[in-house]
Structure 1
Amino acid sequence: MDLYVVNTLMRLYGVCGRIEDVRKVFDESPQWDLVSWTTLIQGYVDNGLWQEGVKLFFDMCEAGYRADEKMMAVVISAFAKLGDLSLGRKLHEYICNQGVNFDVYVGNSLVDMYLKCGDIESACKVFNQMPVRNVVSWNSMILGLADSGDYEEALRVFRKMLRKGIEPDEVTLVGVLNSCANLGVLELGKWIHAYVDKNRNEVDGFIGNALIDMYAKCGSIDNALEVFEDIKRKDVYTYTAVIGGLAMHGKGEMALKLFSEMCELGIQPNKVTFIGVLTACCHAGLVDEGRRHFAEMSKLYNIKPTTEHYGCIVNLLGRAGLISEAAEYVENMPIKPDVLIWGSLLGACRIHGKLDLAERVMKKLIKVEPEEDGAYVLMSNIYASEKKWRDAFHLRKRMKKGKIKKIPGCSSIDLDGVVYEFRRGDKAHAKSKEIYMLLDKMKHHLDDTNYLIDNCVYLQ
């Protein structure tokens, strides 16, 4: 069989997911070239068999073949999926030593690999060394930084991209909107919305859903609803985004109304949709509706509740004062309750003064996570609210002995397009002296007006 026919047939089988036939054609061929190896390895990688693809690459090297840039892009993507940073670095070293053409595809693959392996520094280094960058290069950096939680740096890269004259695509805009949502940077989010309106016929799909999420998280639920109304082809993700946004803003009844509308249209809800629905019930105090929707998840939609769903129902019942029922849900969970579940129940005990149950919950909680600082602080506040000062003191002493420290809270503010981040005791800001002076003035003002501070504040 002609080698061109062999390679074409392998590629066809690979696209169809028939990996056994790809291997059979390869093994039965009397000769191979680099294209044959690349097609074989790509077939395995594209079908999720990354470990096997990497093994074949090493087999190819032992057979005396020298990889080119196309082969390297395929192999690097397999290393990225495996998350093996050590092997990834060796592969990068191989590329440099073998003089493989460092084109935009190899560069993009290396950036993506380092980001997925959590090595942000190496990803930035490769990105900055790339002789040519395309929109995919910029997208990899923006999305990778956002996925690692460095939303500020993601926005800085986006601004740099615009200064370089690179036009953002849909992937860019969705990634940037996600960063805006998590930082509360409303003005940049609005700018992207205006950019989309100017350059596209309509707001739809991923961008529309990302805009809804951004507006909701930035506190502008009315804008989120406007975007929702403008989207002509609404899917489960569109409804899920707006239901979650309404739930976040305490508009539970409106969220449930849209959920009913969605179901009437024949759109099947997913796990995330039900988190929004249960949160809506929780914030609106709709206990009966919450119970019903929780039950319908598995009965009508065959969706198994996760810890997030149990957390919502426990929170709902706890807020309503149905502590015993909330505890019953936790006891009967088919999955092991995590810190959030026990923490939610502990919070409900504090609200409703259930000291005995709180102590039992605390024992369960520290078994799951012995160093959970929030649990210790919350329990000491429960003791304080019940005037159990000695117990509160002993718990704080236990924290100190176990070297359990409360993680400082973090706040951020967007001012003139710049995000400023503050932590407790933070003096890194250039104007920290003026900031603390203003805080002192506010404190004295509160003292002068006889503002009462609850005892439990002093324990925090």
Structure 2
Amino acid sequence: MSLQTSTLNHMMKTSLREGQLNDARVYFDNNPTYRDVVSWNMMISGYVKSNQIHIARQLFDEMPERDIVSWNTLLLGLQKDKDQESTYQLYLQLQSSGLRPTSYTFSIVVSSVLGTVFNVLVPQFHAKIVSLGHHTSVYVGSALMRGYTDLGDHSALYCVFDDIVNKDMSLWNALILGYMELGLTDEAQKAFNRMPKKDVVSWTTLVDGYLKNNEVERARYIFDEMDEKNVVSWTAMITGYVGTDKCLDAIELFIQMMRLGPRPNQHTFASVLAACAKHSELLTGQQVHASLLKHGINIDIVLATAFVTMYAKCGDIEAAYCIFKEMPGKNLVSWNSILGCHARHGRGRAALDDFEKMINSGLQPNHITFINVLSACAHAGLVEEGERIFGCMGKTYGIQPEKEHYACMVDLYGKAGNLDKAKSLIECMPFEPDIVVWGALLGACGLHSDFEFGSNAANELHNLEKNHPAAYVLLSKIFGERGVWNSLTDLKQIMESKHMKKQKSGSWIG
């Protein structure tokens, strides 16, 4: 390499290390004579790291000569861009180029297809990996194990693991994780027991796996057996309790963590706030808030959103809105949280106003956004506004209404007494109505004591879920108010014979 080329590459490397991508590009453009494959690779890598994949691809296509680093760098960029088809096409071009793919190549391309329709290519990649002798690589093996987990093939998962002679802890952890994701908790436990050495990641993977398979007691047993627990371990157990509606256990464990464990992070606080929200523990939520402020912990957008949800669900709408207004860089989750807050508290106008502010901020709504806004309209009796929002979903935003949105509209019409419109909407739905839709109509019939529509809704609800108590409870209300005593007596006898209990009050929409 000539002195000039060496100098150019050094100057480019320095600029890229300091985050000065534009300066590096100036050096690159102004010295075409001294460029080599390293210069090109550095620029492609710089654009990949800055997520400007289209420019990286342009440079790659212009390269007079490529090495395997060039191909791997662009493959990594396409993987980051979640462009599975282009990743696979580039991999095919690499095979035709005469260059030999490396272990790193295969770890990229296998990882790129996970969770997509392209995961069917995993066995094809595996065959090529074996033919090139890369099947003993830990990195490739880990990627293949994730691939076969994605395909639900536990036999191939273990075969890949078994082919690797020098197994490290990360590979054992990958096997445990794969078994847990496939619901094979006993196999995961056996693999854990066979591990020559275990680290905190191994234990935490086992705990988290049991929690995700709803084996909470086994998870807590393993958690208590851990000699070393880090913040991830504690957070996993707390989050698992919240996910299985054991919110008081989550709060108690959080208090124990504050006393004995490591310092909680944002994810820990977000989980315990979710527990407070689910169990309406406003005082505990306020104490968590005070603790965060006392210790000077940064309240990022995830944590701020968790506070909004907690205060809203615990009934302190003013505190929720105050936190929301102070949030910098609100994202869609944040907006959906405050819109849901308005819906729960019947603040229809406020929901519509904030919906407009969200749109004006440049964010695009999703299906949750519309559920919240339509629900807010239903609770506030804003029929025309709800119709307008429902109508613009597909026309303006390209979001086709789902059953939940139709249920919101049925609830909206029903609460306003427009039962004919509610029934007509159900009849023209592009799919079969479910329990939530019929339940919304039945609730409206109970509100307005409409026997005809109520009986029809109750029958449909009964067909979908036999002996649903809501059907009997609301029909008994209608019969009683209309003085149909014989029918009411029959209903009571049916309820007693089925050992039904009246449901706690709640909304069909949420």
Residue number in structure 1 paired with 2:129:
26
Is the CA contact (8 Å cut-off) linking 1:76 and 1:109 kept in structure 2?
A: yes
Is the CA contact (8 Å cut-off) linking 2:374 and 2:390 kept in structure 1?
A: yes
Is the CA contact (8 Å cut-off) linking 1:314 and 1:326 kept in structure 2?
A: yes
Is the CA contact (8 Å cut-off) linking 1:42 and 1:53 kept in structure 2?
A: no
Residue number in structure 2 paired with 1:81:
181
How far off its partner does 1:227 sit? 0.5
Residue number in structure 1 paired with 2:291:
195
TM-score by length of 1: 0.80
Residue 461 (structure 2) pairs with residue 365 (structure 1): yes
Change (3 A) 1:32 1:338: closer
Change (3 A) 1:15 1:398: closer
Note the 1:38-437 alignment, pairs <5 A. 38-46=138-146, 49-51=149-151, 54-60=154-160, 63=163, 65=165, 67-82=167-182, 84=183, 87-96=184-193, 98-200=194-296, 203-401=299-497, 403-406=498-501, 409=504
Whole-angstrom CA distance in 2 between matches of 1:49 and 1:301: 36
Higher relative CO (Cα under 8 Å, sequence separation at least 6) belongs to 1
Q: State the superposition RMSD in angstroms.
A: 2.6
Is the CA contact (8 Å cut-off) linking 1:349 and 1:357 kept in structure 2?
A: yes
How many residue pairs get matched? 400
Secondary structure of the equivalent of 1:155? helix
Secondary structure of the equivalent of 2:400? coil
Residue number in structure 2 paired with 1:431:
none
Secondary structure of the equivalent of 2:432? coil
Is the CA contact (8 Å cut-off) linking 1:50 and 1:79 kept in structure 2?
A: no
Change (3 A) 1:100 1:298: farther
Letter in 1 for 2:228: V
Q: Deviations over 1:320-346 (max 9, x none)?
A: 110000111112222221222112111
Segments of structure 2 that go 5 or more residues without pairing to the other structure are 1-67, 69-100, 115-120
Whole-angstrom CA distance in 1 between matches of 2:151 and 2:112: 20
Secondary structure of the equivalent of 1:250? coil
Is the CA contact (8 Å cut-off) linking 1:151 and 1:183 kept in structure 2?
A: yes
Segments of structure 1 that go 5 or more residues without pairing to the other structure are 412-460
Which structure has the bigger radius of gyration?
A: 2
Letter in 2 for 1:310: Y
Q: Deviations over 1:28-51 (max 9, x none)?
A: 334754xx1x42342135558534
Letter in 1 for 2:346: G
Is the CA contact (8 Å cut-off) linking 1:6 and 1:26 kept in structure 2?
A: no
Is the CA contact (8 Å cut-off) linking 2:451 and 2:478 kept in structure 1?
A: yes
How far off its partner does 1:196 sit? 3.1
Letter in 2 for 1:355: F
How far off its partner does 1:68 sit? 4.2
Is the CA contact (8 Å cut-off) linking 2:169 and 2:198 kept in structure 1?
A: yes
How far off its partner does 1:289 sit? 0.5
Change (3 A) 1:308 1:410: closer
Whole-angstrom CA distance in 1 between matches of 2:362 and 2:414: 33
Change (3 A) 1:78 1:60: closer
Whole-angstrom CA distance in 2 between matches of 1:344 and 1:241: 23
Is the CA contact (8 Å cut-off) linking 1:215 and 1:221 kept in structure 2?
A: yes
How far off its partner does 1:308 sit? 1.8
Change (3 A) 1:64 1:344: closer
Whole-angstrom CA distance in 2 between matches of 1:53 and 1:100: 25
Whole-angstrom CA distance in 2 between matches of 1:292 and 1:47: 45
Is the CA contact (8 Å cut-off) linking 1:255 and 1:280 kept in structure 2?
A: yes
How far off its partner does 1:375 sit? 1.3
